[in-house]
A and B are shown apart, each in its own frame.
Chain A
C-alpha cells in the first residue's frame, strides 16, 4: 500500500471505531428536523425581509446547506481537531521516508470523507423531511441533494483542508489554531455579508461558505436576509416569501466559484505537506508564541517538595482542593493579568471592557487546564486520590467563578461607590465564570481535549462582547 492510501485507510478505521463519528452522524439528521421551518413554524433560522421562506425542495436543500456551511462549520472543525485522529504516532512517522504530502492527502481525504458522510446523512434527513412537509409531487430528492452539496460540500472540505494545514506547523497545532479558525470563520461570514449586492464569479469567490448567492440572487438589490434567527415582521410566518434559490445557484459564476473553492481546498494539503514542520521532541514545555502570551497560559504546577511540611489547612480538604485548582488555573502570569483586569474595571464599562477581557483570559487558562487534567492516564491517577474527579471538576468550576468575581472587583467597587448596580455586575461576572468553567471542564471531559471547549467558548465570548454593548451599563 502507498503512504497516501495507508494514511487514508488507517484514519478511516480510527474514525469508524470511535463513538464520536456515530454521534455526529446521528446529530445531523436530528438537527435537521429543528433547523427546517416546516409549514406550521413560527420562527426560522433563515429569514428574508422579515419573512420565512416558502419551503420547496430547492429551499430544503439550500437551507440545510447554508446552515451547515455557516453556523455548523465550527462544529465540524472541533470534531476533526478533537476526535481520535488528533493523536498521531509522529515520533516514528516523522523519521519515515514517506512524503509528508502523501500523508497529508491521505488524512485530508479521510477528514473530508467523514464530513461528506455527515452531508449525506443530512441529505437523507432532508428528503425524509420533505416527504413529511411537502405534497409528494413537489419533493425532488435530486434537487435537495444538489442544492445542499453545492453549497456545503466545498465549505466542509475546506474545513478539512484548514485542519490539515494547521496540523503542519507547530504554533497552529495548539490554541492558536483554534483562534485562527475562529477568526477565519467569523471573517468569512462578515466579509460576505458586506458584499451582499454583488453577483457573478468574482463576488462568489469572496464567499467560501457559498451561502450568499443562492439567497441574495432572487431577492435582488439591497434586500436583507438573516441567518441565525432574525426578527420577523407581523405576518412573516404566515405570509411567506418565495426564494428561488435554484436560480441563484445556477446564476452566472456561482457553480464555477464553488468548483474553484473545491480546487483551492484540494491544493491546501499539498501546501501543508510542503511546509510541514516536525513536532518538537523531548519533554520541554512549548515556548509561547509571543512573550506576553505566557500570561494566557497557566504555568506549570509548583515543583513537588518531598521535605515540605504538611499543609496547615490539610484538615479543610475542600478548601485545599479549591486552592490548588485556583493555583493551577491562574498559574504564574495569571495573577498579573487578573489584577490588571480587575483594576481596569474601575475605569471602563464592565460589560464591554473588563468583563470580556476576564472571560477571554479565563477561556484560554481554563481550557488548557481542563484539557490537561482530563487526560485518560491522569484521570486514572487522580481517581486514586482523596477526591473523585467529579469533586475536582466542581472545584474547577468554583475556581473559574472566583476568577471572574475577582476580575470584576474594580468595576463592582466603582459601581458601589458611584451609585451603580454592583449586584447586577456580580451576577454577570458570576454567570460568565460558571458558564466558562462548566463548559471548559464539561466539554473537556467529554472530548478529552481542549479544542472543543476552546472554540465553543471563543464563540460564546464573541457573543458576550457584542451583547455587552447592549446591556445597561453597570459601572
Chain B
C-alpha cells in the first residue's frame, strides 16, 4: 500500500512575498494535476512536496510522520523531475541516470535494466549512450522525467514534464505517467490541457496562495 502525503496549513514565503498561504491538502495514490497561472506557486508546491525546500509554516506529513523527521524515508521512495536541471553535459544519458540511481541506492544491474525499459518507453533508447550535450530541449525533458521514474517511487513529483514535447512524445509520456500513477502518488504541474488530464483523479488549481479543486 502506498502512503499518503498530507499538507497541513502549509505556507511558503520568499522575503516579503507569500507564495503559498495555508495550503491544506492530502494527496492520494493516483494522478493529481496542478494547474494555475504562471508564477502562482505550482513549482514551489512541488518543491515542498519533493523535500527540495522546507515550508515557512505548517506541516507536511509522509505516511503520518512529520517531514524533516521522515525526510530520509520519503526520499528513498521519491521521484522528482524539476522544471530545470543543470544536466552534466559531458555524461551520456545512461551514465547520468545510473549515477542518480546510485544516489538512490539502487543496484547497478537492476538500475540499468530499469533504465533501458524506461528509455524505450520515453523514446530515448537510441540516444542512451550519447552525451547529453547533443540533446534537444525535448530530449532533456524526457531524460529528467525518466530519472524521476527510476526505482518504482511511491511519490512522483513532475514539474511540466510535457512541455517542449511533440504530440508523439507527449502521448508516450502520458501513457508512462498514467501507468506509474496506478501504484504511486503522482503530482504533475501542467499548463496545457493534456491527454493526461482525462486520466487524473483530481485537478487542482493553484492561485492566490491557495489550492482549490479546479
Assess whether B142 is interfacial by the CB under 8 Å rule: no
**Does B114 sit at the interface, judged by CB under 8 A?**
no
Tell me the bound Cα distance from A96 to B148 in angstroms.
11
Residues from chain A with a CB closer than 8 A to the CB of B144 are 92
Point out the residue from B14, B15, B91 that lies within 8 Å of A13, measured CB to CB. B91
User: How many residues on chain A are close to B (CB under 8 Å)?
Assistant: 29
Q: Provide the bound-state CA to CA distance between A97 and B91, in Å.
A: 22
Q: Which B residues touch A98, using CB under 8 A?
A: 102-105
The reply to whether A87 and B88 form a contact with Cβ atoms under 8 Å apart is yes
Give the contacting residue for B103; candidates A14, A91, A93, A281; CB below 8 A: A93
28 residue pairs from A and B, CB less than 8 Å apart: A1-B102, A2-B102, A3-B105, A7-B99, A13-B91, A14-B90, A84-B88, A88-B86, A88-B88, A89-B96, A90-B86, A91-B52, A91-B82, A91-B86, A92-B81, A92-B82, A92-B144, A92-B147, A93-B100, A95-B75, A95-B78, A96-B100, A96-B103, A96-B104, A98-B105, A103-B103, A281-B53, A282-B43
Q: Is B76 on the interface with A (CB-CB < 8 A)? A: yes
A103 to B99, CA, bound (A): 11
Q: Is A6 an interface residue (CB 8 A)?
A: yes
A278 to B91, CA, bound (A): 23
- Which chain A residues (65-108) contact chain B, with CB distance < 8 Å? 84, 87-98, 103
Report the bound CA distance from A84 to B87 in whole Å. Answer: 11
Q: Which residues of A contact B52 (CB under 8 A)?
A: 91, 94-95, 278, 281
B14 near A95 with CB under 8 A, answer no
Residue B47 lies at the interface, judged by CB distance under 8 Å to chain A:
yes
Q: Which chain B residue shows the least CB distance to A90?
A: B86
* Interface check B50, CB cutoff 8 A: yes
Given contacts A89-B86, A97-B75, A278-B52, 18 further A-B contacts (CB under 8 A): A2-B102, A6-B102, A10-B95, A10-B96, A10-B99, A13-B95, A18-B90, A84-B89, A87-B86, A88-B88, A89-B96, A89-B100, A92-B80, A94-B52, A98-B102, A282-B14, A282-B43, A284-B15
Chain A residues with Cβ under 8 A from B99's Cβ?
A: 6-7, 10
Tell me the smallest distance from the CB of A273 to a CB of chain B, in Å. 13
Give, as a whole number of angstroms, the nearest-CB distance from A88 to chain B.
6
User: Are A84 and B108 within 8 A (Cβ)?
Assistant: no
Of the residues B53, B75, B84, contact of A96 by C-beta under 8 Å: B75
Which A residues between 1 and 26 are near B, CB-CB below 8 angstroms?
1-3, 5-7, 10, 13-14, 17-18
Chief secondary structure at chain B's binding surface = mixed
Chain B 28-40 interface 0/1 with A at a Cβ cutoff of 8 Å (1 = within): 0000000000000
CB-based nearest B residue for A86:
B86
Partner among A6, A97, A282 whose Cβ is within 8 Å of the Cβ of B76: A97
B47 touching A281 by the CB < 8 A rule? yes
**Residue B186 is within 8 A (CB to CB) of chain A in the complex:** no
Q: Nearest residue in B to A287 (C-beta to C-beta)?
A: B15
Q: Which of B60-104 contact A (CB under 8 A)?
A: 72, 75-76, 78, 80-82, 84-91, 95-96, 98-100, 102-104
Q: Is the CB of A5 within 8 A of B85?
A: no
Interface hits, A444-461 → B, CB 8 Å: none
Inter-chain CA distance A252–B9, complex, in Å, is: 65
Chain B interface, number of residues (Cβ within 8 angstroms): 38
Nearest chain B residue, comparing its CB with the CB of A284: B14
Given A10-B88, A13-B90, the answer on whether A1 and B108 have CB atoms closer than 8 Å is yes
CB distance from A301 to the nearest CB of B (A): 20
B95 partner residues in chain A, CB cutoff 8 A? 10, 13
Most chain A CB neighbours (cut-off 10 Å) among B91, B99, B105, B108: B99
Q: Which of chain A's residues has its CB closest to B39's CB?
A: A283
Any chain A CB within 8 A of the CB of B199? Answer: no
Residues of chain B contacted by A93 (CB below 8 angstroms): 100, 103
Is B51 among interface residues, defined by CB-CB distance under 8 A? yes
Complex-state Cα separation, A97 to B102, whole angstroms:
10
Chain B 1-55 interface residues, beta-carbon cutoff 8 Å to A: 14-15, 43-44, 47, 50-53
When A91-B82, A92-B80 are in contact, do A3 and B102 touch as well, CB less than 8 Å?
A: yes
- The answer to whether B85 touches A92 (Cβ under 8 A) is yes
Across the A-B interface, the 3 shortest Cβ-Cβ residue pairs: A6-B102, A96-B103, A98-B103
Contact bitstring B108-148, A, C-beta under 8 A = 1, else 0: 10000000000000000000000100000000000010011
CB of A381, distance to nearest CB on chain B (Å) = 14
User: Per-residue CB proximity of B138-176 to A under 8 Å, as 1/0?
Assistant: 000000100110000000000000000000000000000
